[in-house]
Amino acid sequence: MSDPSNETPLEAEACTVAFKEWAAVCDALCDGKVDLILRKGGIHERRGKFRPEHDRFWLMATRFHQDAADLAPFLRGSLPTPPPEGVVRLPGWCQVRKTWRISDEAELEALRGRHALSDETALQRFHYKEPGLWAIAVKVWGPEAPVEIADSPQYGGCRSWVELPGLPTAGLQAVQTHVPH
């Protein structure tokens, strides 16, 4: 495990992309409890399938379909407090370290503890429609306090990626990951 305290984000300009994810998963990433996102895709994805289109993005915390029972046991008691009505919370910014397609369910066992989903939920998603999941290993950067922006209809729907107004990444601090690799 390296010490990221002296690292700086590669993108010091503005980032205009957000990745929608359950608030509890965002918090686990921003707290360094996990470093991996598992994704199948949303109803509104192109052709109904997720694609890892971006290598840098803000995390957009959502509660859509979030259920504590779907989280890994070590996260079930940590559902975050929602932001005020009409506000969207962006708790961190990510740089993708590696993206790959999981095509063998046995690989999920090897990734336990690196992602925030329960074993049952990961398997359920793996087998939904056709076998497979995307794995996205990330380096997370956090602001002193989560960034909050006004909600907009363009952020709605069951999709992974949304366009944002350009939000600066300068001054973000690297999150120390506590996940064994």
- Model confidence pLDDT, tens digit, residues 84-105: 889 999 999 999 999 999 999 9
Evaluate if residue 82 carries a pLDDT over 80: no
Task: State the fold for domain 15-174.
Answer: 2.30.130
Confidence grade of residue 2 (pLDDT, cut at 50, 70, 90): very low
**CA 122 → CA 47, 92, 113, 156, distances in Å?**
22, 23, 12, 24
Every domain of the chain and the residues it spans:
15-174
Pairing mode, strands 147-150 and 133-142: unpaired
